[in-house]
Structure 1
Amino acid sequence: MCAFVAVHAGAGTHSHKTEDVCLKAVCKSKGDIIEAVKELENDFRTNCGFGSNLTFGGHVECEAAFASSEGHVFGAVGVVSRLRNPIEVAAMVAKEQSCIDKKFVLPTVLVGQGAEDWAQKRGIILCDPKSLISKRSQQQWREAREIVKDWEKETMDTVGAVSYENGGCNAACSSGGIILKAEGRLGHTTQIGGAIWADQRDSRSIAVALSGCGEYIAQTLLAKTLAETLFNWNCEDVILNKINHVFNAAFVHSPCLQTRNKKHILAGGLVLFVDRESRCAELVSFHNTTELTFAFFGNGNKMKYRSRSVSSDFIAHSFSLRDYINFS
């Protein structure tokens, strides 16, 4: 069975044609979700890995996470400055949890120097933090420091990915965080159930990868909430209506966020839904930010897309994956 993979470049405003970056990533990945995200981390036009947003002090502090329905594993790294591809280490953290040695409780999240030392002991070559700073990110940092008020625009562009193969599914994300963030800040990436979720129950496989205001996404466990709802969803109903309802009830109008600034309650991403019994497979994109760019690939077929919302109202699209996924 050919693997299916989809990636997005984050919910926000994109000055570059990041849908082309996404398409290149999924085509080069050959269905491998980690390789797809690494392609995004290596491209200066995305906010992850090389070219990440800088902290208030002008440093790179990245985070990444990986989740799989196989073994229900989750792994994440945060506040790392010497990992060229943080997603690679996040996946290593997750996959070590499948170890049959039950003597120790293995970590799911590692941060800072501890994460970097852990990776180095497992063969990852550490890089110079300055090598992750691009000319573009440095220029944006300088402008933001000079005129902070002009940087209230949507720059919450965590990249994410979902994949499916042989009944199992995965989700991943990687981010440099918001520009001028506080040193040591963790976003929704490292919060299990916040940015990503991947699960398989009976004939259904669901993977979610989100971007947006990290603190609020983490607080509402939005990725997990969306997935849990779809496990009880009737395939005869319209999936866009269900996602719209959950997004508004569990996020926009969440009791947890009612004292927060409404203009910061922003999110978007991809939801992968596969039901082998009903032979239903859909990829849903949604956001209440200005834009969301993404691309997907499977069975030799590919597509790129730039979704726009002029008024930043909720907008969603559904794509049938019958030509992208094999059910047999």
Structure 2
Amino acid sequence: MNNTDILVAHVGAGRHSTLKAKSYRKLLYEALAYDEIQEVGEILEKNALTNTGYGSALDYNGEVNCDCSFIINWNGQISSGSAYNVSHDTPIRTTIELYQKLDEVYRNKLGRFGLNKPVLLDYGDNTLRSMIGLEEGPHKSLVSPQTRKIYALYKTRLDNDESLALEALPDVQDTIGIISIQRSQSSIASSSGGNFFKLPGRIGCAGVIGAALYRLERNNKEVYCLCSGNGEDILTMQLASTVSRSLLEAEDDYSDVMVNSIMQRKSDLPSYSPESSEFCVPYVGVVCLVRDLSLEETTLLYCHSTESFYFGFKSQRGKEVVLSTHDPKKVGKSFVRGEYRL
């Protein structure tokens, strides 16, 4: 690892089982052994502990469909894209390959019509896959024994009694996110299986650039942002974009700027009502990198209002895994926050 290499990976903000804390820690350290977002993503997505790829939460029809998005900066050339309805055990790698194929199609064919390449695609569309030459390969079930058990246990009860819906949330049900910075390339990606019993066709925040992830660069400063938590809140607030823009303008006090930007954006929403007894801080977790290229300084920031937020990072200073938890009485009411100099 040279002194420009940095990797950050998270496994969701939400409610992680404390009984599995050692397993989550081990998984994150295993992921930190790699550098490329495709490699790191494969380690996280194929593990049933995370809610993406294999072991994802099942939708109302008992199926797995993941959302994914990425941004790659290769020597100043930006590639990005998003997909939903991804039914593979490696959504990040699959989505990147999808857009690589799409580049060829638009360069050699559709671009001649003056068409712009799509920024969001339905991977489940058979015509799309056939047109751009994506081979399906052998089908592998992404349904784990645990998710099938949960689905079978609650589906009938949910059909008969909507008040039982919250019981169907056994653990964290959210995104994974990865930031990889190397000498010639920087990448950021996110993927998620969504909520248990989600409406088929729902597009979650992990499938929208600006929601679960964002990257900005200006005046020798870079900001990378990953978000997790309540997907609809994250989408409505375009949370990653909101936080990134605020941090790009900030000179210091980054932690305060991050939290204040979240709360300010929340207050701007049409649904905001300060008089409502139900109003609280958004149920989210955010992890960001702020890089001052002129000073060669990088700061990692995080905050979350959820029960827990698990992530890890590595730089020339070494590796660290953070299993951050919140006071149960303050969940959804305040933020835990912290920062590290990388």
The TM-score bracket by the shorter chain reads 0.7 to 0.9
- More moved, 50-59 vs 274-283: 274-283
Structure 2 residue 84 is matched with structure 1 residue 67: no
Alpha-carbon separation, structure 2, partners of 1:214 and 1:278: 35
The match for 1:161 is: 178
Which of structures 1 and 2 has the bigger CA Rg?
2
Q: Which amino acid aligns with 1:284?
A: L
Alpha-carbon separation, structure 1, partners of 2:183 and 2:91: 26
Picking from 24, 36, 48, the partner of 1:32 is 36
Whether contact under 8 Å (1:156, 1:213) holds in the other structure is no
Tell me the TM-score normalised to structure 2 length.
0.83
How many residues get paired?
A: 314
Q: Which amino acid aligns with 1:50?
A: Y
Tell me the TM-score normalised to structure 1 length.
0.86
The match for 1:325 is: none
Whether contact under 8 Å (1:93, 1:109) holds in the other structure is no
Picking from 134, 137, 145, the partner of 2:144 is 134
Q: Which amino acid aligns with 1:200?
A: E
The match for 2:289 is: 272
For 1:1-328, list aligned pairs within 5 A.
Answer: 1=2, 3-15=5-17, 16-17=20-21, 18-27=24-33, 29=34, 31-69=35-73, 70-81=76-87, 83-94=88-99, 101=107, 102-103=111-112, 104-114=115-125, 118=129, 122=133, 124-128=135-139, 131-145=141-155, 146=157, 147-151=164-168, 155-166=172-183, 169-234=186-251, 237-251=252-266, 253-258=267-272, 262=279, 265-299=282-316, 301-310=318-327, 311-312=330-331, 313-321=334-342
Q: Match of 1:277, SS? A: coil
Alpha-carbon separation, structure 2, partners of 1:284 and 1:211: 14
- More moved, 210-219 vs 83-92: 83-92
- More moved, 104-113 vs 37-46: 104-113
The match for 1:324 is: none
Q: Which runs of 5+ in 2 are unaligned?
A: 158-163
Whether contact under 8 Å (1:206, 1:273) holds in the other structure is yes
Shift of 1:123: 5.3
Whether contact under 8 Å (1:207, 1:272) holds in the other structure is yes
Shift of 1:288: 0.7
Shift of 1:97: 7.4
Structure 1 residues 258 and 87: CA distance shift in structure 2, 3 A: same
Whether contact under 8 Å (2:237, 2:269) holds in the other structure is no
Shift of 1:63: 1.2
Q: Which amino acid aligns with 2:30?
A: K
- More moved, 111-120 vs 57-66: 111-120
Q: Match of 2:242, SS? A: helix
Cα RMSD between the aligned structures? 2.7
Structure 1 residues 286 and 115: CA distance shift in structure 2, 3 A: farther
Shift of 1:152: 6.0
Alpha-carbon separation, structure 1, partners of 2:53 and 2:126: 15
Q: Which amino acid aligns with 2:13?
A: A
Whether contact under 8 Å (1:216, 1:257) holds in the other structure is no
Q: Residues 293-320 of structure 1, C-alpha deviation per residue, up to 9 Å, x if partnerless?
A: 0111233721101011112121111011
The match for 2:161 is: none
Q: Which runs of 5+ in 1 are unaligned?
A: 322-328
- More moved, 256-265 vs 72-81: 256-265
Q: What is the percent sequence identity of the aligned residues?
A: 22
